[in-house]
Amino acid sequence: MIKNRCLLVGVICASVVLLLIVKAIVKSFLLARRLPKWWNRKRVLLTGASTGIGEQIAYILAKFDCDYIITARRKKELDDVARKCNEIIKAQGGQGRCISLVADQSKEENIHRAVDFTLKELGGLDVLLLNAAETYFRPFDTLNSRESLDLAHLIMNTNYFAMLTYYRDLLPELRRTQGTMLIVSSLSGRSGSPFSPFYSASKAALNAFVEGVSQEREDGVNLCVALPGTVATQICLDNIGQKFYDSGMAADLCARKILETPVKRKQFSILPIEGYVQQPLNMLAPKLYRLASKMVLPSYDEIMQVHPQWSNQIPDLNAVSTGSNKKVE
């Protein structure tokens, strides 16, 4: 009797798992078909497209025959990406085009200029895709008071206030076209990451803004946020080393999953599977979460091995008076 019950439970569990697998395969197949149709011929403004995730997004948009503007601070790298994108469009006989525009989104006047240029060149906008971000990985105690404040202001200006400016400027147009604002945020905005607390804070502010403003009014604008974890980009390699670069999600795969976010009609799309466990675990068992984080995130010593020069820059906190910005030599 007990054996029969165990067998029945086993069969039921196996059936459920099989159904979930089949469901996932079907959803993946349907999404693969819907993705190019959704993006085809869209008018897009993409920020942060000179390297990494943004560069890979630009190449995929070319394959979808989009009409789009790409921005970044570095002209040479940005122009190279635009040239490759236009070659992709031409090779497949598309009608789209990729236009590069140098812009530093930490400067408000650059954002207004990018908005005006986009609307003039494209004649309108369907998708505002905000990928540009200022990142850093550095122990807090290696920054003096002035450096920490300057870095915090730079990151908040680039990652958060720039998004507000773009959204404010383009909201009338996005309402007119029933368009989409797609933001590349980060899992660190859900649970703060060590060695980049300013970055985590900027992404948390961004996530909270989208969640709040989307509840204010049904205006037809689709607000959605992609939440990647560690991605194998040059920034990752330079800042936290080969070990974590090798374990990160490939940039081209991350780019495709970001572009799937509005197609799936999800406001927040968590890209790595482990991300679905992160926040619930942090809320229900914070000690266990921190223990798990120590196993997968770089340690203080590992960061200092990648950047040994910082060991000579740790200020003597006891020698700095409260509120002082004076650098300790």
pLDDT tens digits for range 112-156 = 999 999 999 999 999 999 999 988 878 888 888 888 889 999 999
| Residue range of the domain that includes 73 | 38-319
User: What's the CA gap between 291 and 294, in Å, rounded?
Assistant: 5
Is 327 a member of any domain? no
The residue whose two tokens read 């920020």 is 47
Q: Model confidence over 148-199: pLDDT tens digits?
A: 889 999 999 999 999 999 999 999 999 999 999 999 999 888 888 888 899 9
User: Mean pLDDT of all residues in the chain?
Assistant: 84
Is 11 a member of any domain? no
Q: How confident is the model at residue 24 (pLDDT cuts 50, 70, 90)?
A: low
Is 98 a member of any domain? yes
Q: How confident is the model at residue 9 (pLDDT cuts 50, 70, 90)?
A: low
User: What's the CA gap between 319 and 329, in Å, rounded?
Assistant: 10
Q: How confident is the model at residue 300 (pLDDT cuts 50, 70, 90)?
A: confident
Is 15 a member of any domain? no
User: What's the CA gap between 237 and 204, in Å, rounded?
Assistant: 24
Q: For 120-135, give one letter per residue: b (16+ CB within 10 A) or e.
A: eebeebbbbbbbbbbb
Is 26 a member of any domain? no
In this structure, the strands spanning 67-72 and 43-47 are: parallel
For residue 72, the cross-strand partners are 102
Give me the number of domains the chain comprises: 1
- When pLDDT is averaged across residues 230-248 and rounded to a whole number, the result is 72
User: What's the CA gap between 61 and 64, in Å, rounded?
Assistant: 5
The residue whose two tokens read 């985590």 is 200
Active site residue 166: no
Q: How confident is the model at residue 246 (pLDDT cuts 50, 70, 90)?
A: confident
Q: Do 68 and 46 contact (CB within 8 A), yes or no?
A: yes
DSSP label at 124? S
pTM greater than 0.75 (yes/no): yes
Res 229 pLDDT > 90:
no
Is 42 a member of any domain? yes
Res 21 pLDDT > 70:
no
Is 128 a member of any domain? yes
pLDDT of residue 224: 95
Is 213 a member of any domain? yes
For residues 19 and 77, the model is more confident at 77
> Domain of 279: which CATH number?
3.40.50.720
- When pLDDT is averaged across residues 217-221 and rounded to a whole number, the result is 87
* Catalytically annotated residue among 68, 167, 199, 245: 199
- When pLDDT is averaged across residues 306-329 and rounded to a whole number, the result is 53
DSSP label at 193? P
For residues 323 and 186, the model is more confident at 186
N residues, the chain = 329
Q: How confident is the model at residue 266 (pLDDT cuts 50, 70, 90)?
A: confident
pLDDT of residue 314: 61
